């Protein structure tokens, strides 16, 4: 049942993203089509200021005792899931982002909602952009709690509107009676 909700929610977000993109398609369908489908050298910058993007990702979350036990994580003891995120880059290098994760753990629909400041280093001709990020948010499952996070990742832009990314972050719980987490994401980034 939970998987059906995740799929329905993701489909609704993709349709919403298509509707938001439809205005541009309506204004200049030829330009949008060539930008969305192209792969290879382009004269258009791959990373820009005032960039809004939607993330659709798969995730893996594992509980941690402490940061010094990070490399003792066993993949069998985590939770797989997915989520969505939204990013806005004020400049090419500085942005803000937020995401929600929905784990397949049988609990609440949304496990956590996090916001971050993102610093990226785009290498425009190559399409690669490593980034670091940190921030905080709220955990809903398994505990209602405040969270803080710090992470690192990399994005590869296929063209100016489509990218793939992978990142990881360490999440600290800020209240007693909970546990830290290691959080991995991999997914598709669509730029508007």
Q: What is the pLDDT of residues 122-159, one digit of tens each?
A: 998 889 999 999 999 998 877 788 999 999 999 999 98
Residue 4 has pLDDT above 90, yes or no: no
Domain holding 103, by residue range, is 2-191
Residues 6 or more apart in contact with residue 37 via CB below 8 angstroms: 159
CATH number at residue 141: 2.40.160.20
State the total domains in the chain: 1
Q: What is the pTM of this model?
A: 0.74
Return the CA Rg of the chain. 18
Confidence of residue 23 (pLDDT cuts 50, 70, 90): very low
Residue 85 pLDDT exceeds 90: yes
Model confidence at 104, pLDDT cuts 50, 70, 90, reads confident
Nearest-angstrom CA–CA distance, 6 and 18: 18
Task: Name the DSSP letter for residue 135.
Answer: E
Bridge-partner residues for 180, per DSSP?
64
pLDDT at residue 2 is higher than 90: no
The closest of 51, 52, 131 to 92, measured between CA atoms, is 51
């Amino acid at each position: 049942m939970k998987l059906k909700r995740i799929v329905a929610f993701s489909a609704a977000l993709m349709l919403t993203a298509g509707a938001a993109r439809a205005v541009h398609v309506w204004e200049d369908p030829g330009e949008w089509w060539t930008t969305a489908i192209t792969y290879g050298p382009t004269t258009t910058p791959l990373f820009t200021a005032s960039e809004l993007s939607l993330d659709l990702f798969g995730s893996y979350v594992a509980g941690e005792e402490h940061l010094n036990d990070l490399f003792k994580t066993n993949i069998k003891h985590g939770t797989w899931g997915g989520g969505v995120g939204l990013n806005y880059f004020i400049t090419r290098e500085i942005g803000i982002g937020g995401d929600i994760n929905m784990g397949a753990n049988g609990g609440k629909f949304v496990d956590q909602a996090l916001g971050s400041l993102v610093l990226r280093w785009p290498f425009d001709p190559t399409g690669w952009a490593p980034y670091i990020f940190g921030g905080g948010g709220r955990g809903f499952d398994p505990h209602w709690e405040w969270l803080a996070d710090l992470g690192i990742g990399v994005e590869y832009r296929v063209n100016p509107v489509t990218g793939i990314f992978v990142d990881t972050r360490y999440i600290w719980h800020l209240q007693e009676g909970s546990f830290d987490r290691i959080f991995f994401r991999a997914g598709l980034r669509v730029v508007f």
